[in-house]
Structure 1
Amino acid sequence: MKPPSFEYHVPGDVGEAVGMLADLGDDAKAIAGGQSLVPMLALRLAAPEHLVDLRRLDGLRRVEESDGSVRIGACTTQAAIQRSATVARAVPLLARATPLIGHFQIRNRGTIGGSLAHADAAAEYPAVALALDARMETVSPRGERTIPADRFFTGLWSTALDDDELLTAVTFPAWHGRSGFAIEEFARRAGDFAIAGAAVAVELDGDDRIRRCGIGLFGLGSTALRSAAAEAAATGRALAEVDAEELGRTAMADLDSVPSDLHASADYRAHVGAAVLAQAWRRAAREAEHA
């Protein structure tokens, strides 16, 4: 199918982009790489009357490290993140998630802001943002605000962004000390959206006790999820006491509703979710133990 007709706008800076979104209201949609929005337009799942193209906003394509955090501009491509030595060193979970996104052609165009704002339940970046307590930076005619990841994703393809609000950057706190990270997913073919996946971050103290952990899940709800139950079950315990399979079952038991569709039943998806979480936990814990 072909997309419905629309008016095309290319603002020269963030202020102009925000002004356009405010003036055009809910009839407008911002587009960055277009790797999610263009297929939705073609399938008539979205039909905005105006597209506001962000490709000229060079200031939103940066990776900067300061004060123990890494700030990534919303228009930074996934390919640039994959190549970034700063991301690989300071936010390894994000670096490891990136090659799992589609194919390299998609990553050359797709952006981190586009992925987060699209909020696909089976996408990797939202789960990583949740696991690492990322903060979303936005701007609107009313000014700037910061939205924690756990308040950003509100449902299927929906976020806390207002119609006239633009996602400008995402900041990831860097984890230090004895930390380990892993992301695992199961998809029917390489490059497909995951049936289920888990992103795990673990930090140990000097006695091999779990000081903190972050567990993000994807493909297991209407949006990416953070498993508070699994995190609570592991935090404060000795690493050797945590059973990875039991942790996976705990996470699945805490889910309100696991989706069922033509790709997988709810039971199968939950079974896979428990398995990939257990595998990711073992890998992250092993890395932290030897850090």
Structure 2
Amino acid sequence: MKPASFDYHRPDTIDDAVALLSELGDDAKIIAGGQSLVPMLAMRLAYFDHLIDISRLGELRGIERRGHELWIGAGTTEATVGADDQVRQAVPLLTRATPFVGHFQIRNRGTLGGSIAHADAAGEYPAAALALDAVMEVLSPRGRREIAAADFFAGLWETTMEPDEVLTGVRFPVWNGRSGFSVREFARRHGDFAIAGALVAVQLDDADRVSRCGIGLLGLGSTVRRAPAAEAAVVGMPVGELVAEEIGRAAMTGLDDVPTDLQGSASYRTQVGATMVARAWREGVHEAIDEAPAGAANA
């Protein structure tokens, strides 16, 4: 199928884009890489009278270290994020997550901001932003504001951005010291949406106690989730006393909307999710104990 007809707009600045979005209202949609929106339009799952293309706005692209955070412009492609040395040193979880995002053709066009704003329940970048307590920067005719990742994802393909707001950038905290990161997910084929997956960030103090932990879950609800029960259970504990399988089971606590579909039942997804958390936990802890500090170059 082909999409229904629409008017195409390509503003020169982000301010122009925001003004257009405000003027055109619900009949307009922002498009960046288009790797999620275009297939939905082609299958007639979505329809808009106007598309506002922000893919060529240089002010939305870039990667910058800003103190204890790494800023990534919303228009930065996923391929750029995955290959960037600053990202690898400052936010390794993003580097690890990038190869799981579709295929390289998709990553060459898709953008970090597009992935996060799309808010897919199986999205790796949304789960990473949530696990790392990232901050979203958005712009509207009323000015700029910030939204914490914990308050950003509202449901399936739904965020707490207002209809006239545009995501312009994301700030990721930099984890220095003895930190480890891992991404594990299970899919029928590489590049498919994950049946269930986990992103783990763990930090240890000098006494080998867990001082910080973030666990992001994907494919286990209507949106990406965190695992607060599992995180609370491990922080402050000697890492040698923690059992990965128990952490995996704890991470499934409170998941009341795990989907049942052709890929598997809710029970099956939950079992897979627990296993993915356990495997990611082992790898993250191994890195924190045995490898050089992930943020050493930026400390």
- Equivalent residue, structure 2, for 1:11: 11
1:81-120 deviation per Cα after TM superposition (whole angstroms, max 9, x unaligned)? 1110000010000011001111100000000000000000
**Aligned-partner Cα distance in 1 for 2:253–2:71:** 34
The answer to whether structure 1 residue 197 and structure 2 residue 197 are counterparts is yes
Does 137-146 or 257-266 show the bigger shift?
257-266
- Equivalent residue, structure 2, for 1:218: 218
CA shift, 1:78, in A, is 0.3
Contact in 2 for aligned 1:71/1:172 (Cα 8 Å): yes
- Equivalent residue, structure 2, for 1:157: 157
**Aligned-partner Cα distance in 2 for 1:146–1:66:** 16
**DSSP-derived class of the 2:256 partner:** coil
**Aligned-partner Cα distance in 1 for 2:278–2:82:** 25
- Equivalent residue, structure 2, for 1:274: 274
CA shift, 1:2, in A, is 1.2
Q: Which AA in structure 2 matches 1:62? A: G
- Equivalent residue, structure 1, for 2:260: 260
TM-score when normalising by structure 1: 0.99
Q: Which AA in structure 2 matches 1:146? A: E
- Consecutive unaligned residues of structure 2, counting only runs of 5 or more, are 293-299
**Aligned-partner Cα distance in 2 for 1:253–1:136:** 27
**Aligned-partner Cα distance in 1 for 2:257–2:143:** 36
1:13-68 deviation per Cα after TM superposition (whole angstroms, max 9, x unaligned)? 01100000000111110000000000111111110111000022111110001201
- Equivalent residue, structure 1, for 2:116: 116
- Equivalent residue, structure 1, for 2:296: none
**Aligned-partner Cα distance in 2 for 1:11–1:70:** 27
**DSSP-derived class of the 2:203 partner:** strand
CA shift, 1:243, in A, is 0.9
The answer to whether structure 1 residue 181 and structure 2 residue 181 are counterparts is yes
Q: Which AA in structure 2 matches 1:189? A: R
**Aligned-partner Cα distance in 1 for 2:254–2:234:** 14
Matches for 1:135-146 after TM superposition, within 5 Å: 135-146=135-146
Q: Which AA in structure 1 matches 2:107? A: R
Structure 1 moving runs of 4+ over 3 Å: none
Contact in 1 for aligned 2:227/2:253 (Cα 8 Å): no
**DSSP-derived class of the 1:180 partner:** strand
Contact in 2 for aligned 1:186/1:276 (Cα 8 Å): yes
**Aligned-partner Cα distance in 2 for 1:238–1:269:** 30
The answer to whether structure 1 residue 243 and structure 2 residue 243 are counterparts is yes
- Equivalent residue, structure 2, for 1:85: 85
- Consecutive unaligned residues of structure 1, counting only runs of 5 or more, are none
Contact in 1 for aligned 2:32/2:54 (Cα 8 Å): yes
**Aligned-partner Cα distance in 1 for 2:25–2:242:** 50
- Equivalent residue, structure 1, for 2:172: 172
CA shift, 1:254, in A, is 2.2
**Matched-pair identity in %:** 62
**Aligned-partner Cα distance in 2 for 1:20–1:200:** 39
**DSSP-derived class of the 1:253 partner:** coil
**Aligned-partner Cα distance in 2 for 1:137–1:218:** 23
The answer to whether structure 1 residue 125 and structure 2 residue 125 are counterparts is yes
Contact in 2 for aligned 1:13/1:56 (Cα 8 Å): no
**DSSP-derived class of the 2:41 partner:** helix
**DSSP-derived class of the 1:199 partner:** strand
Contact in 2 for aligned 1:244/1:278 (Cα 8 Å): yes
**Aligned-partner Cα distance in 2 for 1:26–1:247:** 43
Contact in 1 for aligned 2:196/2:218 (Cα 8 Å): yes
**Aligned-partner Cα distance in 2 for 1:27–1:161:** 16
> How many pairs align?
291
CA shift, 1:241, in A, is 1.2
Q: Which AA in structure 2 matches 1:111? A: T
**DSSP-derived class of the 1:146 partner:** strand
- Equivalent residue, structure 2, for 1:75: 75
TM-score when normalising by structure 2: 0.96
